[in-house]
Amino acid sequence: MADAAARLDPSTGSRSPRAESKGEQSRADRPLLVLAASKGWVSLDLTGVWEHRELLFFLTWRDVKLRYKQTALGVLWAIIQPTAPMLIFALVFGRLVDVPADGPYPLFAFAGLLPWTYFANAVNNSTTSVVSSANLITKVYFPRMIIPGAATLAALMDFVIGLGVLALLMVWYGVHWHVTLLLFPLLVAITTVLALGVGMFFAGLTVQYRDVRHAMPFLLQFWMFASPIIFPSRIVPERWQWALALNPMAGIIENFRAALFGRPIDWSALGFSAATAVAVLIYAAFSFRRFERKFADLM
């Protein structure tokens, strides 16, 4: 107290110029800490993601509960989404156009729509997930990759419900169960990795450019018609087979049907889809981490 009083000017009660100069000098001697975003690529912080795995499960369950909350049909939308297009495609392409199919066309179309619907929903939900969680991001620290990851995993619930419809269609059309159905978990895993990679990339991009979310429906619609959903890949002309082979969803959908109908698995196409999915996820993860440095400023 005596030292503090000695630094005050008795006549004015304010700090004396001498005390102010000493204070400024002491502040100048202190090291200056500057917080700035790092340049170049950053680490993925996978350890942090693992440590916050309970938050991933919590956000996934939250998205599942909120998906059909306060809706008239509830979880029935998980059945309607792949079933309604299947009925339209069966009428137009199965009856009017008479597109060749491996088995009954409704079952053929549904087998292509089921993995595609899961992929499209996961990508679409992941794209807007970070912007929708702005309040959470600006208040609490956690690995931001958890947010698109939770959106991708939440879409799995609809896929599981759709598998029940697929089983009923198999019974209705008398399609026998084959041992190749054991390949379904691998196909779902590859689809999940690809959806997470694509969704994570566009989730980071949407924070900076909000019109990306408006362009996603057009991109997904184009991608759907470029995939062998309403047609088998064998009817594509030979000169365009290379373009179809570059589509990772083509290998997934074709092998999904092959596992369903007990046909030989195209391991080369499946391997390409798996390698592409892993490559997309790695690139998207690093890109997302770079976008993440600007989240607080752009929210």
- In the block, tokens 């000017």 appear at 9
- The residue that leads in pLDDT, 126 or 12, is 126
Cα 265 from chain centroid (whole Å): 27
55 burial (CB, 10 Å; 0-12 / 13-18 / 19+) is middle
Q: How confident is the model at residue 7 (pLDDT cuts 50, 70, 90)?
A: very low
Q: What is the average pLDDT across 36-62?
A: 76
Give the pLDDT band of residue 6 (cuts 50, 70, 90): very low
Tens digits of residue pLDDT in 217-275: 999 999 999 999 988 888 888 888 888 889 999 999 999 999 998 889 999 999 999 99
**Token couple for 133:** 């969680």
CB count, 10 Å around CB of 88? 13
Averaged over 101-106, what is the pLDDT?
84
Does residue 174 surpass a pLDDT of 70?
A: yes
Provide the pLDDT for residue 39. Answer: 55
Higher pLDDT, 42 or 141: 141
Cβ-contact 208, 298 below 8 angstroms: yes
Bridge partner list, 15? 8
Which range is least confidently modeled, 95-104, 126-135, 178-187, 195-204?
95-104
pLDDT at 204 over 80: yes
Output the CA–CA distances (angstroms, integers) from residue 113 to 90, 102, 149, 201, in the order listed. Answer: 12, 15, 22, 23
- pTM for the model: 0.81
Q: What is the DSSP string of 242-289?
A: HHHHT-HHHHHHHHHHHHHHTPPP-HHHHHHHHHHHHHHHHHHHHHHH
The CA distances from residue 297 to 142, 230, 292, in Å, are 17, 44, 10
Only one residue has tokens 């570059």, namely 246
Spatial CB neighbours of 173, under 8 Å, sequence gap ≥ 6: 103, 104, 106, 107
Q: What is the pLDDT of residue 295?
A: 67
Distance CA 80, CA 71 (A): 13
Average pLDDT, the chain: 82
Q: What is the mean pLDDT of residues 191-206?
A: 94
Environment class of 40 (CB within 10 Å of its CB; exposed 0-12, middle 13-18, buried 19+):
exposed
Closest-CA residue to 60 (of 158, 138, 165, 207): 158
